[in-house]
Amino acid sequence: MDILFHATGANPEAWLSAFQQAIPGASIRVWQEGDTAPADYALVWKPPAAMLRGRTDLKAIFNLGAGVDAILQLGDALPPGVPVIRLDDAGMGIQMAEFVAHAVLRYFRRLDAYALQNTDQLWRFLKPFDKQSFSIGVLGLGVLGQRIIEALRQFDFPLNGWSRTPKDLPGVHCYSGQDGLDGFLRASRVLVAILPLTPETEDILNCENLAKLPRGAYVINVARGAHLVEADLLALIQQQHIAGATLDVFREEPLPPVHPFWQEPRISITPHISALTLRDDSARQIAAKIQMLQAGLAISGLVDQHRGY
Ligand code: NAP
Ligand code: GLV
């Protein structure tokens, strides 16, 4: 079995060794410009168009992440009829749950405000928030959104969720579709974005939608930077409609040093680390899926290229 590998920004040796261990007997090579020799599978993260163009011999393309926006942007360069498979959790769910639970609890327990008081050596009691009015709304109820919800359940917050198709999750007020968005936003004091980036979800965190959140709301974006209209968030923070934001993803990454977000103490910034692709977990998951495909079995994580995720 021949496997092509390319992952922008990753150490190819470490990945090759993880895949070699997980798929013994396979011949795995790092794709080089001009390599058009046949291959059965491609393992990729942000691949160049030239790697995949015309490769209708591939049995599947495995994306080394959950989000497929970068690969679908290749458009015509993606070989027609070749399935694209995304990572299904593969250790990212627990990381997302940790990250979002931390951000939510930091706001709910006012630790962001106490940290600011620390810098002024200020010993001052802040009125606790009422839990029943501190509802958490999760935009996106897929693999990662549902794992976040599962973690937040432990803390008894009122929970809302929004997805494209209707869902029924225990203890969660589920909204769906464009018609459900307004009610979802008005009912959510904390907004967590964990959507895929598609034409429908780009710019969804804009002034019109963010203004529907209750006054004093918090925004947590762990999905993609292009969901957020950055100037709209800044304006709403300055107007004190939004009390704070935790942002892990940005339109431009790394976030440029001159970006105004760096100067806003109510915005917490991390460098796209809320859920990292774990090499060994991912290699094991992909190896198991290749085995299933070879045996003619159905696998999960198949991307609907028309839908965009
Ligand atoms: P997923 O399983 O495909 O779930 C996507 C969810 O979003 C589904 O519930 C889907 O609705 C919903 N959705 C999609 N389009 C929608 C629309 N137009 N309106 C309403 N809901 C919509 O994806 P996942 O594995 O949870 O991952 C989500 C995203 O997280 C990835 O695409 C990636 O961009 C991001 N991510 C970020 C990091 C990081 O480190 N920051 C790490 C991993 C992933 P249905 O259920 O109705 O289909
Ligand atoms: C990371 O951002 C991913 O999509 O897996």
Q: Convert the pLDDT of each residue in 161-215 to its tens digit.
A: 999 999 999 999 999 999 999 999 999 999 999 999 999 999 999 999 999 999 9
Asked if residue 81 and residue 109 are part of one domain, the reply reads no
Q: Is the CB of 277 under 6 A from ligand 2?
A: yes
In a domain, 307, yes or no: no
**Residue 34 C-alpha to ligand 1 middle, in angstroms?**
34
Residue closest via CA to ligand 2's atom 4 equals 67
Residue closest via CA to ligand 2's atom 1 equals 65
Asked if residue 99 and residue 233 are part of one domain, the reply reads yes
Region 271-293 average pLDDT = 98
**Residue 36 C-alpha to ligand 1 middle, in angstroms?**
33
Asked if residue 225 and residue 103 are part of one domain, the reply reads yes
Q: Is the CB of 248 under 6 A from ligand 1?
A: yes
Asked if residue 220 and residue 77 are part of one domain, the reply reads no
Token couple for 56: 């209708």
To the query of whether residue 106 is one of the catalytic residues in this protein, the response is no
**Residue 54 C-alpha to ligand 1 middle, in angstroms?**
28
Region 62-80 average pLDDT = 98
In a domain, 165, yes or no: yes
In a domain, 260, yes or no: yes
**Residue 129 C-alpha to ligand 1 middle, in angstroms?**
29
In the set 224, 227, 279, 284, the catalytic residue is 224
In a domain, 304, yes or no: no
pTM: 0.97
In a domain, 7, yes or no: yes
Please give the number of the atom of ligand 2 that sits closest to the Cα of 277.
5
Q: Of 166, 162, 26, 151, which is closest to residue 99 (Cα–Cα)?
A: 151
SS3 for the chain is: CEEEEEECCCCHHHHHHHHHHHCCCCEEEECCCCCCCCCCEEEEECCCHHHHCCCCCCCEEEECCCCCHHHHCCHHHCCCCCCEECCCCCCHHHHHHHHHHHHHHHHHCCHHHHHHHHHCCCCCCCCCCCHHHCCEEEECCCHHHHHHHHHHHCCCCCEEEEECCCCCCCCEEEEEHHHHHHHHHHCCCEEEECCCCCCCCCCCECHHHHCCCCCCEEEEECCCHHHECHHHHHHHHHCCCEEEEEECCCCCCCCCCCCHHHHCCCEEECCCCCCCCCHHHHHHHHHHHHHHHHCCCCCCCECCCCCCC
In a domain, 300, yes or no: no
Please give the number of the atom of ligand 2 that sits closest to the Cα of 272.
2
Q: Is the CB of 141 under 6 A from ligand 1?
A: yes
Asked if residue 76 and residue 48 are part of one domain, the reply reads yes
Asked if residue 254 and residue 126 are part of one domain, the reply reads yes
In a domain, 303, yes or no: no
In a domain, 181, yes or no: yes
Asked if residue 261 and residue 130 are part of one domain, the reply reads yes
To the query of whether residue 272 is one of the catalytic residues in this protein, the response is yes
Asked if residue 132 and residue 59 are part of one domain, the reply reads no
Asked if residue 252 and residue 112 are part of one domain, the reply reads yes
Asked if residue 156 and residue 85 are part of one domain, the reply reads no
Q: How many domains is the chain partitioned into structurally?
A: 2
Q: Is the CB of 309 under 6 A from ligand 1?
A: yes
Q: For 125-154, how does the pLDDT look when each residue is reduced to its tens digit (9 = 90+)?
A: 999 999 999 999 999 999 999 999 999 999
CA distance 300 to 309: 13
Structural domain containing residue 33: 2-90+277-294
Q: Is the CB of 225 under 6 A from ligand 1?
A: no
Q: What is the pLDDT of residue 202?
A: 98
Asked if residue 264 and residue 117 are part of one domain, the reply reads yes
**Residue 145 C-alpha to ligand 1 middle, in angstroms?**
7
Q: For 221-267, how does the pLDDT look when each residue is reduced to its tens digit (9 = 90+)?
A: 999 999 999 999 999 999 999 999 999 999 999 999 999 999 999 99
Mean pLDDT for all residues in the chain:
98
Token couple for 101: 């639970």
Residue closest via CA to ligand 1's atom 15 equals 164
Asked if residue 99 and residue 60 are part of one domain, the reply reads no
Q: What is the CATH number of the domain that holds 80?
A: 3.40.50.720
